[in-house]
A and B are shown apart, each in its own frame.
Chain A
Amino acid sequence: MAVGLTHYLILASVLFCLGLYGALSRRNAIIILMCVELMLNAANLLLVAFSKGFFDYLLIGQAVVIFSLVVAAAEVSVGLAIVIALYRLRKSIDIKDINILKW
């Protein structure tokens, strides 16, 4: 069976669900950031696959992926800065210990 658009879509959803499972089931803040990156990557794969499968000559999906890369870089830099600040405050990056905003 030749590899087609459907294979890429299913692979992207498998990667997204692995990232979702990791983000929900881990307590380490850095692991949660990694899983968010995995989910963003799955979305990028979906965009590129659709860009190839639908409008091969337009490539608008690939242009959108570049913006997605920019947003991912910004997100991870701010997220890691928050993790470092929390570690300085609480000496832990376990999200169970991060309840400062809890009333």
Chain B
Amino acid sequence: MGSDLAFWVLAVTAVSGALMVVTMRSLFRAALGMILCFLSIAGLFITLTAEYLGMAQIFVYIGAIAILIIMATMLTRQVEHSNLPSPYKFPAIIGALAFLGVSIWVLLNTQWFLEKLPPIIQDITPVSTSTIGLILFGQEGLILAVEIAALLLVAAIIGAISVAKEK
């Protein structure tokens, strides 16, 4: 089935991109791995019939965040061989593996209460962007949260300018 194949390909790409981020010595290559991971997560959103979020993911993460991180990489002039491991590498492996084990155990052993529904990939219903718009802006919607998010963005812009300004 096509969407199963798409899931496996995108999952392998996402995990290899994440592995590039955590293993590459060069900061620039790590940033490229991060872009790969973000792209495949956008594809995974599309396999979950969240097309609008897939596009938003590409715009925000690849168009804005990844470019910003690459520019910061260039500005700090430590592109090559600056990605040294810390002395806490071994405890970090232990901690991450323990967290992975616990979370997978919990995920597999929880009885999700709609488990009887058909597999989520199979019933492809087109997601309407207007439904998300109604949730965000409609009656009984999340309009207060939208305004708080706008305020947060303004605060982040002003904060970033004032922190990075040359004194």
Contact = CB atoms under 8 A, between A and B. Distances in A.
A17 B72 contact: no
A25 B120 contact: no
B69 A66 contact: no
Nearest to A63: B135
Dominant SS among interface residues on chain A: helix
Given A26-B83, A34-B30, A63-B132, A52 B48 contact: yes
Contacts of A84: 72, 75-76, 164
Interface in A1-44: 2-11, 13-22, 24-28, 30-31, 33-35, 37-38, 41, 44
A35 B30 CA distance: 10
B19 A41 contact: no
Interface string B40-82: 0100110011101100110011001100110011011010001
A66 B55 CA distance: 11
Interface string B114-136: 10010111110101000110011
Nearest to B19: A18
Contacts of A77: 68, 156-157, 160
Nearest to A70: B149
A98 interface: no
Interface residues of A, number: 73
A1 to B, nearest CB: 9
Contact of A72 (B14, B50, B65, B163): B65
B18 A69 contact: no
B156 A78 contact: yes
Given A15-B41, A16-B99, A80-B68, 19 more contacts: A2-B4, A3-B4, A15-B37, A17-B97, A18-B18, A18-B96, A21-B22, A21-B92, A22-B21, A25-B86, A25-B88, A34-B34, A48-B48, A53-B120, A54-B112, A65-B53, A66-B56, A80-B69, A96-B86
Interface of A: 2-11, 13-22, 24-28, 30-31, 33-35, 37-38, 41, 44-45, 48-49, 51-54, 56, 58-60, 62-63, 65-67, 69-78, 80-85, 87-88, 92-96
25 contacts: A2-B4, A3-B3, A3-B8, A10-B107, A11-B14, A17-B99, A18-B19, A19-B22, A20-B95, A21-B95, A25-B92, A27-B83, A34-B31, A37-B65, A38-B37, A44-B41, A59-B127, A63-B142, A65-B53, A67-B145, A69-B57, A71-B149, A73-B60, A81-B161, A83-B76
